[in-house]
């Protein structure tokens, strides 16, 4: 079958396949819709005869996308969840997998969005295209809320529809001829976008890594901070703190070292601070707290986990004026060009919500919701601790990183799902360094989190 040659074995366990995911899958819904022509199923299903003679264009498939091993991680987890629900339609499935917020958005924020929506029906309140970089008031509010005294100015800030989208836009800025380093484990969008962009070589199954990406191992042994003396120079370094999935938060001393490393190597750090407000300890919340960072770093962040904006879609990226390519050309200028050409601004209604988030009342309300999820995290951490597991994270981030030494993480995922109807995320989905770990996310209604912990205790006692 000609299609088989396009499919490669996935790094997930053999009981599922890279392209089993139906193309129309509505990953958040409980129903699975399967396309009429299931020609992309790896399991032994004969290709319908018609496919052999179906018209094909003469356009070659993008070889970079062909390098990707499986579907993006979270739709895959969602697919497993849906399949499980089909199998056990009466099961009370609890989702601690995808880091999806569950608590309602505070009213001060939604009423601002409702107001903006209604205003769009009036002559005075109607607005068309907004500035691609974001509304001025919001950019100013972001600067003063998160970067006060750090020398970041309003126009260093670019409002977006979320960090995931910004990551890809940054990759478009950088192009295919740069090398990158990621923490291992790390949020999969960094690696996947790098592959799509053509920065990497082929996936190497024996080590479960893409050629040409520098994977910086982060483990309990090294305090989840890479040994920079063993890290090869790359152009770009993706660094997430507080970390998804490990929950580790880099200390000031560590970040000073990271900035120095970047400076010595002439590299650019892309610093993902989407979970900064979950920080409990006195660690830096922004890379720009480190002197010299403005010349070596970009920071990306999001309203998703602060304000429950996972569906509303709002985030931002900071590109300091001082950040220059090797020829002296400002990176911000190229980022601006991409933002103007490949994007057209975040939704004006979402931006109105963002502005309300950063009002004093909004900030207070957000802190309350964050506090709620942090309490969830505590409950989960306590549970796994009491069961004798080695537990990491959960203090500065809404993720708990549980060690299952010597075990295949997809197998642990499946066992947990099968026996407790709880969805988690297998650590290997975040890179080979995640093998042997399970990520438990702390977003959920309190009663679900408590129930989940009861079931964990039952399973592991």
- Given the complex with other proteins, which of 164 and 395 has the nearer CB atom? 164
Judged by CB under 8 A, the number of residues near other proteins is: 133
Residue 294, both tokens? 């403005």
Of 257, 263, 446, 457, the one binding other proteins by CB under 8 A:
263
> Which residues 288-307 are close enough to bind other proteins by CB under 8 A?
292, 295-296
- Of 51-59, 375-383, 410-418, 424-432, which part binds other proteins (CB under 8 A)? 51-59
Q: Could you say which of 174, 278, 306, 430 contacts other proteins (CB under 8 A)?
A: 174
State the first-to-last Cα distance of the chain, in angstroms, to the nearest integer: 48
Residue 168 sits in the site that holds other proteins (CB under 8 A): yes
Give the bridge partners for 392, in sequence order: 401
Closer to other proteins at the Cβ: 367 or 458?
A: 367
> 248 vs 298, which CB is nearer to other proteins?
298
Q: 157, 354 in Cβ contact below 8 A?
A: no
Q: Taking CB under 8 A as the criterion, which residues in 357-416 touch other proteins?
A: none
- Report, in Å, the least distance between residue 437 CB and other proteins: 22
- Nearest-5° Cα angle at 45, 43 to 47: 130
Work out whether 53 is an interface residue with other proteins (CB under 8 A).
Answer: no
Element holding 87 (H helix, E strand): helix 73-87
* Residues 182-201, mask of contacts with other proteins (x by CB under 8 A): -------x--xx--xxx---
Closest CB to other proteins among 154 and 289?
Answer: 154
Q: Between 55 and 360, name the residue whose CB sits nearer to other proteins.
A: 55
φ, ψ of residue 360 to 5 degrees: the values are -55, -45
Residue 165 or 277 with smaller CB distance to other proteins: 165
**Footprint on residues 434-453 left by other proteins (CB under 8 A):** 443
CA 402/CA 96 separation, integer angstroms = 13
CA dihedral sign of residues 27, 31, 33, 38: positive
- In whole angstroms, the minimum distance from the beta carbon of 340 to other proteins comes to 4
Task: Please report whether residue 327 would count as binding other proteins according to CB under 8 A.
Answer: yes
Distances (CA, A) of 156 to 182, 258, 319, 323: 24, 22, 5, 11
Which residues in 128-157 contact other proteins (CB under 8 A)?
128-133, 136, 155
Distance CA(309)–CA(301), nearest Å, equals: 12
**Least Å from the CB of residue 246 to other proteins:** 21
Examine residue 65 and tell whether it contacts other proteins (CB under 8 A): yes
Q: Measured from the CB atom, is 320 or 436 closer to other proteins?
A: 320
Inter-CA distances, 397 with 21, 162, 169, Å: 30, 18, 25
Site membership for other proteins, residue 23 (CB under 8 A): yes
Rg (CA), the chain: 22
Using the rule CB under 8 A, which residue among 270, 349, 357, 391 binds other proteins? 349
**Residues 6 or more apart whose Cβ sits within 8 Å of residue 218:** 183, 184, 185, 224, 225, 226, 243, 246, 248, 433
Using the structure block, give the residue that is written with the tokens 């500035």: 131
> Which residues 6+ apart lie within 8 Å of 454 measured at CB?
none
| Cα angle value 217/223/225 (rounded, 5°) | 50
Q: Where are the beta strands (DSSP E) in 65-189?
A: 94-95, 157-160, 180-184
Which 213-252 residues touch other proteins, going by CB under 8 A? 235-236
Choosing from 247, 345, 354, 394, the residue that interacts with other proteins (CB under 8 A) is: 345
Residue among 437 and 443 whose Cβ is closer to other proteins: 443
Binding of residue 127 to other proteins (CB under 8 A): yes
Question: What is the closest distance, in whole angstroms, from the C-beta atom of residue 80 to other proteins in the complex?
Answer: 15
Q: Verify binding: residue 57, other proteins, rule CB under 8 A.
A: yes
Can you tell me which residue has the tokens 């094909």? Answer: 56
Is 424 a residue that touches other proteins (CB under 8 A)?
A: no
Least distance from other proteins to the Cβ atom of residue 461, Å: 32
Pairing type for strands 297-302 and 315-318 reads antiparallel
Which alpha helices (DSSP H) does 198-323 contain, by range?
252-265, 304-307
Residue 353 makes contact with other proteins by CB under 8 A: yes
Residue 193 or 409 having the CB closest to other proteins: 193
User: Within positions 66 to 125, which residues make up the interface with other proteins, using CB under 8 A?
Assistant: 68, 71-72, 74-75, 98, 100-107, 109-111, 113-115, 117-123, 125
Q: Please name the residue that has the structure tokens 């650590």.
A: 427
């Amino acid at each position: 079958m000609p299609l088989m040659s396009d499919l490669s074995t996935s790094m997930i366990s053999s009981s599922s396949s890279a392209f089993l995911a139906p193309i129309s899958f509505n990953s958040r819904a409980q129903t699975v819709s399967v396309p009429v022509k299931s020609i992309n199923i790896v399991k032994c299903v004969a290709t319908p005869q018609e496919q052999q003679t179906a018209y094909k264009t003469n356009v070659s498939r993008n070889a970079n996308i062909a390098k990707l091993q499986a579907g993006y991680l979270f739709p895959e987890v969602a697919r497993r969840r849906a399949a499980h629900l089909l199998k056990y339609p009466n099961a009370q499935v609890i989702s601690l997998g995808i880091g999806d917020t569950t608590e309602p958005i505070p009213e001060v924020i939604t009423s601002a969005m409702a107001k903006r929506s209604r205003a769009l029906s009036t002559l005075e309140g109607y607005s068309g295209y907004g500035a691609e970089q974001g509304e001025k008031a919001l950019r100013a509010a972001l600067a003063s809320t998160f970067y006060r005294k750090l020398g970041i100015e309003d126009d260093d800030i670019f409002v977006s529809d979320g960090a995931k989208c910004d990551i890809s836009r940054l990759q478009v800025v950088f192009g295919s001829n740069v090398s990158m380093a990621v923490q291992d484990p790390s949020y999969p969008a960094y690696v996947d976008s790098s592959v799509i962009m053509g920065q990497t070589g082929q996936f190497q199954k024996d080590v479960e890594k893409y050629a040409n990406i520098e994977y910086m191992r982060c483990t309990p042994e090294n305090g989840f901070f890479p040994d920079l003396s063993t890290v090869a120079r790359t152009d770009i370094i993706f660094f997430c703190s507080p970390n998804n999935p490990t929950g580790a938060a880099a200390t000031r001393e560590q970040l000073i070292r990271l900035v120095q490393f970047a400076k010595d190597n002439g590299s650019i750090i892309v610093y993902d601070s989407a979970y900064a407000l979950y920080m409990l300890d006195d660690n830096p919340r922004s890379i720009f707290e480190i002197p010299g960072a403005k010349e070596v770093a970009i920071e990306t962040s999001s309203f998703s986990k602060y304000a429950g904006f996972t569906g509303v879609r709002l985030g931002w990226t900071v590109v300091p004026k001082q950040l220059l390519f090797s020829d002296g050309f400002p990176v911000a200028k190229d980022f601006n060009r991409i933002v103007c050409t490949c994007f057209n601004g975040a939704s004006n209604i979402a931006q109105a919500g963002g502005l309300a988030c950063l009002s004093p009342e909004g900030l207070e309300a957000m802190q309350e919701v964050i506090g709620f999820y942090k309490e969830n995290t505590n409950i989960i951490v306590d549970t796994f601790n009491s069961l004798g597991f080695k537990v990491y994270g959960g203090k500065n981030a809404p993720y708990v990183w549980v060690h299952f030494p010597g075990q295949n993480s997809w197998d642990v995922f499946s066992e947990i799902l099968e026996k407790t109807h709880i969805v988690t995320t297998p650590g290997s989905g975040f890179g080979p360094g995640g093998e042997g770990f399970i990520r438990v996310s702390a977003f959920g209604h309190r009663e679900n989190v408590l129930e989940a912990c009861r079931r964990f205790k039952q399973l592991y006692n």
